[in-house]
Structure 1
C-alpha cells in the first residue's frame, strides 16, 4: 500500500477510535444526571454531578499533556481508554454488589474522566502527520475529527436515552465501558503513525528536560501568543455556559417541561446530527474562506440553544432551533483546531493543547454547579435568559479586530508579518 493509502487507513482508524471513545463519554454525561435523579437527588445534586464530570479536564489536560509528549501519542490514546473504561464499569458493578453512595459515585465519575482529555489530545496531535501523508487539507482533517466528535453525540445521545428509559442509568454505563474498550482495540491494532517522533511513541528520553520544565515551556508559549490568550478566554466563557445548559439546565428542562430523557435525547441527537453535517461540509470549504467572520456568525447562531428554552418552546420547535445551532457549531472547531495546529510547534503540541483545553474547560465544573443553583434559586426561564445574553455578548468580541485578525491563514496577504512577530517563534505547518 502506498504511503498516502497507509496514512488514510490510519486516519480512518483514528476517527473510528475517537468516535467510540467520545460515544462512551456522551453516554456517561447523559446517564449521570438521570442516575442522580433516579436515586432521589435534586437540582443541586445534578449540578454537583455535572461538575464532577468536567472537573477532571482541568487537571488531566495540562498535566496529562506533558505525559502524552513523553509517553507517546498512540500509547496515550489506548491507555486512557482502557483506564477510563475500567473505572466507569465499576459504577454499575459496585452499585449492584455493595451499593453506591453519592460521594462514591462522584469519585468514580471524576477518576473515569481524568484520562479522557489526555487521550483525546493524543488523537488530535496524531492528526498533522497523518493528514500530511494522506494529502488532505488541514481544515478538512480537523473537520473530520470534529465530525467524529459530533457523530458520537448523534449516536450516543439517542442510544443513552433509549438505554436510560428502557433499562435505567446503571446499565447504560456498561455501554460506556464497552465503547472505551473497543476504541482502545481499534487504535492499538489499526493506527500506524506516519513518522518516528515523540508524537508517534518514541522513547521519553528523546524529549530533553524534566516534566515541570516541559510544562513551563508550554505555559510560556501560551502566555506569549497574542491570539491564543483571547481565544482561550472566549471559549472558557462559552464552555462554562454550555456546561450549565447541557449538563444541568437541559436535563431539568426535559424533566419538568418536556417528556424526560426521551425528549433530551431527541434534542441532543438533533444538535449532534446537524453539527456532524456542519463539520463535514464546512471542512470541505473552510480552506477557501476567511475565518474570523464565519467564526463570529456561527458562534452567534449557537445562542439559540439557550434562547429556545428561555422562550418556553416545546420539543418540535426546539428541534428546529437545535438543528440550526448544531449546523453553526459544526463550523467552530475546524476553525479553532486549524488555528491552533498552525501556531503551535510540533514538539509542543500535546502540552500546549492540554493547557488550552484546561483553560477552555476551567469554568465547566463551575458552570454545571452554578446552573443547578441558579435554576433552584431563580428558575429555569431566568437562568436560560441570562445564559443567552452573556453568550451573545462574548461571541461578538472578535469583530473588534486586534489580535483576532491573526485567525486568518498565515499565507494570507498581510498576515505573515504579524504571525512571525517577536515572542511567537512557532513552526507553521
Structure 2
C-alpha cells in the first residue's frame, strides 16, 4: 500500500469512528418531547465513508459511484436504463421533456396536447405538462387509495389526449392494469411517478415497469436518499437517449463526463447547417438543461441501496401496525386501502376524517403535533385551488369531489424505518388519548 492509499484508509477509518462517536451521544427517545417525524434519512457509517471516499477522488460531477448506482438501481427496479438527475422534480421534468423530442416524429408531444392526470398530489408531477404548454386534464381520485378513479378515464379522453402522467400516491400503486390497457388502446404515453413508491409492486412486477418512463426521488424523505437526487427509468433505448440529452444541456452526444469519441465518429457527422465534421460533443439536438447529479451524492445512494430491502420491509410493517391499531376507530377515520393486486412500499399512512360533530381534522392534527408526532396533508391538496394554477389552462372531468374531501379532511403520518417500537407505541397511545379525550373510546 502506497502513502496515498494508506492516508485514504486512515481517513475513512476516522470517519467511521466519528459516526460511532456521534451515535453514542444521541439522546434517548422521550415520548411527547422527542419528535416523531413523518419521514427522514436513515443511515450509518457506510454512507459517511462513501461520501468522504468520493470527496477524496475530487471528481465532483457524475463518476464511478454514479455509474454503479445507475447499473444496480436499474436492475433493482427491473429496468434496462437508469439516468441519475439532481432531484425527483427534475426527473419528472426530464422524463416529460423526452416525450417532446422531435426525434419521436408523429408521437412528439406538442403545446396544446392534453395529458390526463390528477390534481391531488405533489405539483411537480403536473408542472412539466404546464411548462411545455400542454393541458392537464384532471380526474378525481378514490378516497381510500388516493389514486385516480379509473372509471373516468374514457370520459377524460379527447382527440387531443396524448399521454397519462400519474404518481403512485404515498407508495400505493394506482390501478396499473386499467391505466396501462387504456394507454395501449388509445396509443398514449404513460409516465409513472414512482417518487414515493420505490419497491412497490403490482401483480408481482415493480411499479415503473408498466409505463414508457418512470421517475424516482432520492430526497431525504424518500425510500432511499442522496440528500438531493432523482432518476429516470425506461426500457426504451431511444427514450433513454432523449433523457440523457435533455439532462445534459440538450446535446446530441452521449459521451459521459470526461469521455471523448465514445461512438468513434466524433468528427464524421453533418448536422443542420453546421460545418461538416463539427465536433459532435458540441452539437445540440434539444433545448435542454444541466440536471446531473454529483458523484458525492451518488456515493451515498450506493450505500443506501444495500439497505433498501430492509427499509421497504420496515415501511410495510409500520403501516400494518398502525392500520391494525386504528381499525377500532374506523367509525371516525377513513383508513387507507392498498390498490387491489398491489403490494405497496408505503411512503406514509394516509387517512381522512369522517366528518362528524365531535372533532375536525384540525383537532386531531393539533393533538398529534402537540405530542411531537408530525403530520402532513396530501401535498398540494387540489392543485386547481393553488395560487400558482389560477391562470393555468386545464380541464376538469366532471368535478373533483373526492380530491376536495381529502384536501379538507386528509392527514398522513410517518411509517419510515426511523420509527422504531418506542416511537410506534407512542403514536398508538397518542391516538388512544385523543379518542378518550373526545369520549369516543
- TM-score over 0.5 for the pair: no
Asked which structure has the greater CA Rg, the reply is 2
Query: TM-score scaled by structure 2?
Result: 0.28
With the length of structure 1 as denominator, give the TM-score of the two structures. Answer: 0.29
